Structures are given as structure tokens and as C-alpha cells.
Amino acid sequence: MLKKANIAVLVSGGGTNLEALLKAQEEGRIPHGQIVLVCASNETAYALTRAANHGVPGVAIPRKQMSQEAFETTLSLKLAEYKIDVIILAGFLSILSESFVRQWPDRILNVHPSLIPSFCGKGMYGLKVHEAALAKGVKVTGATVHLVNEIPDGGRILLQKAVDILPGDTAETLQCRVMEQAEWVLLPQAAEMLCEQISES
């Protein structure tokens, strides 16, 4: 019997990356892991509806209504309750504290919508990343899945995939193409890589 690593996905908004992970799981592309919990940093996140549609428990921990310490304490209790092995940040907009991250060495994955080390770090998220790439005039961008450490977007890179920037691209069209061609492809692959390491250790 294959021992599966328990995955929690942390989200803040619509949950398109979560949807990609849930579909990958249902198609058997994450055989060493199973998503058992979705945590949203606000109670109106559509990602919670996506989780429910796939039969996965979802919980809201409203970040804006509590201190960082209280938020992370509440989150830690939920992760313990569900016996979580791996945390995946999928459009999660809160930066986790150093003390929290250190409790999960090489167990937290993040997807970032650029080819790190370009257009990354504190304050670089969502459309801002794509706006920066277009302003710089680069011809190629992409996405990166990396392990999370105490430095924003500073952890070890697991996977990267390049995406061409096309004439006439806006930040919105580029964001969609990077998600479809890179983020949704890489995230399930990286999840399986990490879960396989854990289940065999």
C-alpha cells in the first residue's frame, strides 16, 4: 500500500492553481500525495468553493482580522489536525514568518509567475510581476516552483518553464498564458516530486 503524503494548499483568491492541482490528483498525476485540506486567508475566496466541489475540506483563517502570530498559530493547529506533510502556496498572498517557515524545512512549495531570479521578491506578485516583465522588454518569461525559506522567493528552485512574450501582450494576457502553459503544468509535477521523496523517506 502506497503511503501518501498529506497536502494542504494555502490560497487567497480564485484558486485556479488549486484547480490545476485537484484535477492532476483526480487524473492520478500526484500518486504519492493527496490534498486533504485547503486553507484560505479570507472567507470569500472562491478557492473554498473549488475545494468543496472536489470534496476537499476547506477552512478560512481571515488574515486581516488577526495578528501574524495568531494567524500562524491557528494555521499550525489546522495543519496538525489534518496531519499535513506538505504545504503548497497557490496564490497565497501572505508572507509566512521565518519562525513558521523553519518549522517546515523543505516541506513548503510556492509557484511564482516568473523565471526566478527575475521579477521576484517582496512585493512582486500577481499582475505586478507581468507588468514588470513587459516594462523591462524581456522576450521570455515563465514560472518557477521553489521550496520556501525565510527569504521571499529565495528557496531552492525545483522546476522552471519558459513562456514566450508575444507582441501586443498585456499583463492580463501574459498572466493567463503563464498560468496555462507553465504554472498549471509545473505545480502538480513539483508536488509529486516532493511527496515521493517524503513517502519514501
What tens digit of pLDDT does each residue of 47-66 get? 999 999 999 999 999 988 89
**Over 90: is that where the pLDDT of 95 sits?**
no
List alpha helices for the chain, DSSP H.
16-26, 47-53, 68-81, 98-102, 127-136, 171-178, 184-200
Q: Please state the rounded mean pLDDT for residues 179-196.
A: 97
pLDDT tens track for 2-26: 789 999 999 999 999 999 999 999 9
Report, as an integer, the average pLDDT of 153-181.
Answer: 97
Catalytic-labelled residue, pool 32, 54, 112, 146: 112
Which sign, positive or negative, has the C-alpha torsion 111, 122, 134, 116?
Answer: negative
Contact (Cβ atoms closer than 8 angstroms) between residue 93 and residue 12: yes
The pLDDT, as a whole number, for residue 1 is: 56
Average pLDDT over every residue of 119-147: 95
Output the average pLDDT for the chain: 95
Separation of alpha carbons 67 and 48, rounded Å: 22
| Residue 165 contacts residue 139 (beta carbons within 8 Å) | yes
Q: How far apart are CA 172 and CA 179, in angstroms?
A: 11
* pLDDT for res 201: 79
C-alpha span between 83 and 85 (Å, rounded): 7
Tally of CB atoms within 10 A around 105: 10
Q: How confident is the model at residue 146 (pLDDT cuts 50, 70, 90)?
A: very high
What pTM does this model have? 0.95
Verify whether residue 112 is a known catalytic residue: yes
